[in-house]
Each structure stands twice: as structure tokens, then as C-alpha cells.
Amino acid sequence: GRKVLIVYAHQEPKSLNGSLKRVAVEELSKQGCSVTVSDLYAMQFEPRATRNDIVGCLINSEEFNYGMETQEAYKRGDLSSDLIEEQKKVQEADLLIFQFPLYWFSMPAIMKGWMDRVLVQGFAHEFPNCYDSGLLKNKLALFSFTTGGSKEMYEKGAINGDIRYLLWPMQHGIMHFCGVRVLEPHICFAPEYVSEEKRKEMLTAWAQRLKTLWNEEPINCSPEWYFK
């Protein structure tokens, strides 16, 4: 059976994001997948990249360099236990689903902190092993999120610009950089401004998509996809 990690960032289980997460757990489990959820707010996940991420002594305590110190700590097995735990989940997963409400054209800080802290050099990438040869190759990722603005506001020429513009840092700059292939994003536009019925349709559409997810081809993660 395939393994899926859902990294989930919403404060409220009753939210649409909470429901989308539950739908994914149910549907994927029904398919025989083994599903793990990192519920970041419930875990009170630490978003700040600090010295506390390294257990024991630093290589250079005179001038703290987060990137270098975490890379070395990873090699020694001296990353903080919350990071080791998340890395294990990533390592085992065939598919990473990120479920969140769009905050400021990006993911909420608590999820950005997961990226900043978990995807350590040596674990997720290590020059020249980045992009197509990133260390997490053979995995898939899918960004599933809700927006405040409507679909029309996120079109080319509209005020927010094409929604794909804002996917570049997340899909290309993070996931593709680590070698992860990216499936089409799943976007629920403006759920707060639609009817309860429409919101139910959003949940059904997500369940429906998940049924054939494993047949999907990854997107071509090149500038053309984003900015054509």
C-alpha cells in the first residue's frame, strides 16, 4: 500500500480545510493507503529556525549559521526530536499533501516553518543534488488550499494575477528543488463566500479527484507552466 503524509495547517477542525483533510484521510485509507497527518497547530509545531534545532554543541558557537549547523547536526543524528520525527514521515511517504488556507499569497507561517526546519540540507537536497536529482525524488507532492479571493480575482490580467504566479516559490522553489514531482494543485476558491451546498460540492470534488489521483501525471514544473 502507498504511504501518504498530510501536512495540515488550520486551527479549526470544523473548517473547510479540516473537512478536506478528513476527506483525504478517509478516501486514501479506503484505497488501502497508509495515511499519516501532521496537524501543525494541534502539535504546536515550532516555526522558528533557531539554535534549539541542534542538540548538543555547535560547530561554531561564535557565529551561528543555521544552514550549516543543521546540515551537520543531521549527519550526526543531532537534530531536535520533532524534526527527526517529521523527516521520518517524509522519508516513508510516497505522496505529501499540503492542506492549508492561503495566507498572503503563500502558506501560513506555521507551515513555512515546517519547510524551513524539516527540509534540511543533506536530508532533502545537497548540492548538486537539487531539482530533478533532489534527495526526495520519486515522491509526489500536492498543494491543496482554500483562498479568500474568488477564481476571477486570480486570473491572468485580474488584480491578484494568475494563481500560478504564487505557486512558483512553493511548488518550484521548495518541492521541485528537493526533487519532488508536483501534481496539479487543488484549489477551493472563496469557500467563505459560497453556499453550504457549494462547500459540500467542494468536498465531493476532492474525494472524487483522490479516487484517480495515482493515475495523474505530474505537472511540467518549468517557468512555462507558471508564467506562460
Is residue 225 at the binding interface for a copy of itself, with CB under 8 A as the rule? no
Cβ atoms of 184 and 219 closer than 8 Å: yes
Asked whether the CA dihedral 111, 113, 117, 120 is positive or negative, the reply is: positive
Three cell numbers at 224?
512555462
DSSP 69-131: HHHHHHHHT-B-HHHHHHHHHHHH-SEEEEEEE-BTTB--HHHHHHHHHHS-BTTTBBTTB-G
| Alpha carbon of residue 42 to chain centroid | 17
Nearest approach, Cβ of 207 to a copy of itself (angstroms)? 22
Is residue 116 at the binding interface for a copy of itself, with CB under 8 A as the rule? yes
Query: What residue type is assigned to position 58 of the chain?
Result: L
Helices 81-92 and 109-118 sit at what angle, rounded to 10 degrees? 80
From 80-88, 110-118, 180-188, 201-209, give the range in contact with a copy of itself by CB under 8 A. Answer: 110-118
From 31-39, 89-97, 98-106, 195-203, give the range in contact with a copy of itself by CB under 8 A. Answer: 98-106
Nearest approach, Cβ of 175 to a copy of itself (angstroms)? 10
Q: What is the 3-state secondary structure (H, E, C) of 16-73?
A: HHHHHHHHHHHHHHHCCCEEEEEECCCCCCCCCCCHHHECCCCCCCCCCCHHHHHHHH
- Near a copy of itself in 152-211, by CB under 8 A: 156-157, 159-161, 165-166, 168-170, 172-174, 177
Kindly tell me which of 56 and 104 has the beta carbon lying closer to a copy of itself: 104
Binding mask 45-84 for a copy of itself (x = CB under 8 A): --xxxxx----------xxxxxx-----------------
Nearest approach, Cβ of 67 to a copy of itself (angstroms)? 7
Is residue 112 at the binding interface for a copy of itself, with CB under 8 A as the rule? yes
Phi and psi, residue 169, nearest 5°: -60, -40
Nearest approach, Cβ of 65 to a copy of itself (angstroms)? 7
Instruction: Select from 8, 72, 100, 113 the one that contacts a copy of itself (CB under 8 A).
Output: 113
Kindly tell me which of 174 and 210 has the beta carbon lying closer to a copy of itself: 174
The closest of 190, 182, 202 to 23, measured between CA atoms, is 202
Query: Which chain residues interact with a copy of itself by CB under 8 A?
Result: 11-12, 14-15, 41, 44, 47-51, 62-67, 103-106, 108-110, 112-113, 115-117, 119, 131, 148, 156-157, 159-161, 165-166, 168-170, 172-174, 177, 223, 226-227
